[in-house]
């Protein structure tokens, strides 16, 4: 039986719970999400959003279209890029509606989890986000468990050592993510109370690779790891993002160039980042497709790449050349969204197609150029700070 009653709703006025930390609170909890620079109109729109939809199946089609690619058709998780299990009961009983809403609308910047809210250039309005929350909530089988929202006292220095020994193998050094979600992400840390983090560490996620540490670590050690994760928080400055990308003025990069000299595609599908970069510099004629949600394209994309999100290929297909110009799609997974786009193109008769093998994050790590949706040079990703001593 699904449990619908929640302590908070996504529609709660964000201005009513301003953070005492360093900005405007958009989460009904202790840690406010820093949204410096966002338009007042965006905050007003969110405040007016409806609560989680009482008819959860209304969100099923939305989930299938936007979420199942990575989170799995039944929310089982790990379908692509180790996306978390949304149907996990420990997760559902401790995650509030606002927490889910912020994750959907604002994503996890710097990870494959894009922002899907229209405020950030994504496809979903607040009513649709609420319907998704309702559908995800329909998997919940037990009543919600209250999660303390206050600060948990611990020693970050001790927690750092425990984290390195027990957690970094999956969550990566300093919480940057590896085969498990990023824990240093500023949106996560701004919207997840310490009690949520501690409970996840203690109880784990049954049926996933995340074990429970309650019997392995003392209460003090659990507090220390929680304090260490909290020390990784960094302020994230937000810029206003247009809800729609600017008009596309050029489809083909280097339209007068010759075909790219790619080596044989790995598995008949994948082309290395370095080869694509070399051919672009050489002046090869190419089309690049950014298969991520448009919000990610707005933040940073390879110059000349077209926004063709995996959930809306039809919008661009008619404009693509059918003269054997090579088309390369990329994403950040690094293959799920781009692979879906290329599969769709091949089914429609586009033969010369490939997936950028390592994805855009490796492209950026190589120092290759990226630009924003407004044509500015995109900033480099911000590393997590060193913990306070």
> Model confidence over 268-313: pLDDT tens digits?
999 999 999 999 999 999 999 999 999 999 999 999 999 999 999 9
Structural domains of the chain, count: 2
In this structure, the answer to whether residues 217 and 322 fall within a common structural domain is no
- Residue 149: its pLDDT value, please? 81
Helix (H, G, I), strand (E, B) or coil at 187: helix
In this structure, the answer to whether residues 280 and 226 fall within a common structural domain is no
Check if the beta carbon of residue 27 is closer than 8 Å to that of residue 34.
no
What is the spatial distance between Cα 86 and Cα 47, in angstroms, rounded to a whole number? Answer: 25
Average predicted confidence (pLDDT) for the chain: 84
Range(s) of the domain holding residue 219: 14-231
What phi, psi does 311 have (nearest 5°)? -90, 0
Model confidence at 387: pLDDT above 70? no
* Domain annotation covers residue 249: no
- Residue 95: its pLDDT value, please? 96
- Residue 380: its pLDDT value, please? 57
* Domain annotation covers residue 205: yes
Model confidence at 170: pLDDT above 80? yes
Model confidence at 50: pLDDT above 60? no
In order of 6, 40, 112, 171, 330, the CA distances from 177 in angstroms are 29, 33, 11, 4, 20
- Residue 22: its pLDDT value, please? 31
In this structure, the answer to whether residues 211 and 306 fall within a common structural domain is no
* Domain annotation covers residue 51: yes
Give residue-wise pLDDT tens across range 340-371: 999 999 999 999 999 999 999 999 999 999 99
Mean pLDDT over residues 80-90, rounded? 92
In order of 31, 50, 122, 252, 307, the CA distances from 13 in angstroms are 15, 11, 21, 45, 33
Model confidence at 242: pLDDT above 80? no
Question: Would you place residue 24 in the very low, low, confident or very high pLDDT band (cuts 50, 70, 90)?
Answer: very low
What is the spatial distance between Cα 137 and Cα 369, in angstroms, rounded to a whole number? Answer: 41
Torsion of CA 250, 255, 261, 263, to 10 degrees: 20
* Domain annotation covers residue 49: yes
239: closest CA among 295, 174, 173, 306?
295
Check if the beta carbon of residue 176 is closer than 8 Å to that of residue 384.
yes
In this structure, the answer to whether residues 222 and 78 fall within a common structural domain is yes
In this structure, the answer to whether residues 218 and 122 fall within a common structural domain is yes
In this structure, the answer to whether residues 38 and 138 fall within a common structural domain is yes
- Residue 280: its pLDDT value, please? 98
Q: Which of the residue ranges 6-20, 170-184, 209-223, 363-377 would you say has the lowest mean pLDDT?
A: 6-20
In this structure, the answer to whether residues 225 and 309 fall within a common structural domain is no
Q: What residue spans of 5-142 are helical by DSSP H?
A: 40-47, 60-66, 68-71, 89-94, 97-106, 126-137
Question: Would you place residue 373 in the very low, low, confident or very high pLDDT band (cuts 50, 70, 90)?
Answer: confident
Domain's final residue, options 204, 231, 258:
231
Mean pLDDT over residues 201-219, rounded? 96
In this structure, the answer to whether residues 177 and 283 fall within a common structural domain is no
* Domain annotation covers residue 248: no
Q: Which of the residue ranges 170-174, 285-289, 382-386 would you say has the lowest mean pLDDT?
A: 382-386
What is the spatial distance between Cα 26 and Cα 99, in angstroms, rounded to a whole number? Answer: 10
User: Of all residues in the chain, what percent carry a pLDDT higher than 90?
Assistant: 71
- Residue 58: its pLDDT value, please? 86
* Domain annotation covers residue 18: yes
- Residue 379: its pLDDT value, please? 62
What is the spatial distance between Cα 299 and Cα 223, in angstroms, rounded to a whole number? Answer: 35
Which CATH number characterizes residue 202's domain?
A: 1.10.760.10
In this structure, the answer to whether residues 198 and 342 fall within a common structural domain is no
* Domain annotation covers residue 371: no
Which CATH number characterizes residue 360's domain?
A: 3.40.250.10
* Domain annotation covers residue 98: yes
In this structure, the answer to whether residues 183 and 303 fall within a common structural domain is no
User: Of all residues in the chain, what percent carry a pLDDT higher than 70?
Assistant: 81
In this structure, the answer to whether residues 131 and 36 fall within a common structural domain is yes
Q: What residue spans of 107-193 are helical by DSSP H?
A: 126-137, 156-166, 168-171, 186-191
- Residue 148: its pLDDT value, please? 85
In this structure, the answer to whether residues 155 and 288 fall within a common structural domain is no
């Amino acid at each position: 039986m699904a449990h619908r009653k929640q302590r908070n709703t996504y529609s709660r006025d964000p201005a009513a719970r301003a953070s005492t930390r360093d900005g405007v609170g958009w989460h009904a909890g202790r840690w406010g999400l820093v949204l410096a620079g966002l338009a007042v109109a965006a905050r007003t729109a969110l405040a007016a959003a409806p609560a989680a939809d009482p008819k959860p199946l209304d969100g099923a089609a939305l989930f299938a279209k936007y979420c199942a690619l990575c989170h799995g058709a039944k929310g089982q998780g790990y379908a692509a890029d180790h996306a978390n299990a949304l149907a996990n009961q420990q997760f559902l009983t401790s995650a509030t509606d606002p927490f889910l809403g912020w994750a959907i609308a604002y994503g996890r910047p710097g990870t494959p989890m894009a922002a899907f809210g229209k405020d950030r250039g994504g496809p979903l309005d607040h009513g649709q986000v609420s319907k998704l929350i309702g559908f995800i909530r329909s998997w919940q089988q037990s009543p919600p468990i209250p999660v303390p929202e206050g600060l948990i006292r611990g020693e970050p220095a001790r927690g750092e050592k425990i984290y390195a020994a027990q957690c970094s193998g999956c969550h990566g050094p300093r919480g940057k993510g590896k085969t498990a979600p990023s824990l240093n992400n500023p949106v996560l840390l701004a919207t997840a109370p310490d009690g949520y983090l501690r409970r996840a560490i203690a109880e784990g996620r049954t049926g996933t690779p995340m074990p429970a540490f309650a019997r392995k670590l003392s209460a003090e050690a659990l507090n220390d790891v929680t304090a260490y994760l909290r020390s990784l928080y960094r302020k994230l400055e937000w810029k206003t993002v247009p809800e729609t990308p600017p008009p596309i003025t050029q489809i083909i990069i280097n339209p007068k160039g010759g075909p790219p000299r790619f080596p044989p595609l790995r598995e008949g599908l994948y082309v290395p980042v370095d080869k694509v970069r070399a051919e672009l510099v050489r002046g090869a004629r190419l089309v690049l497709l950014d298969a991520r949600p448009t919000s990610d394209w707005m933040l940073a994309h390879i110059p000349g790449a077209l926004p063709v999100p995996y959930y809306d290929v039809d919008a661009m297909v008619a404009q693509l050349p059918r003269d054997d110009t090579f088309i390369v799609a990329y994403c950040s997974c690094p293959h799920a969204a781009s692979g879906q786009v290329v599969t769709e193109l091949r089914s429609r008769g586009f033969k010369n197609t490939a997936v950028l093998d390592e994805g855009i994050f490796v492209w950026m790590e190589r120092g290759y150029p990226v630009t924003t949706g407004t044509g500015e040079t995109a900033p480099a990703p911000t590393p997590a700070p060193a913990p306070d001593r």
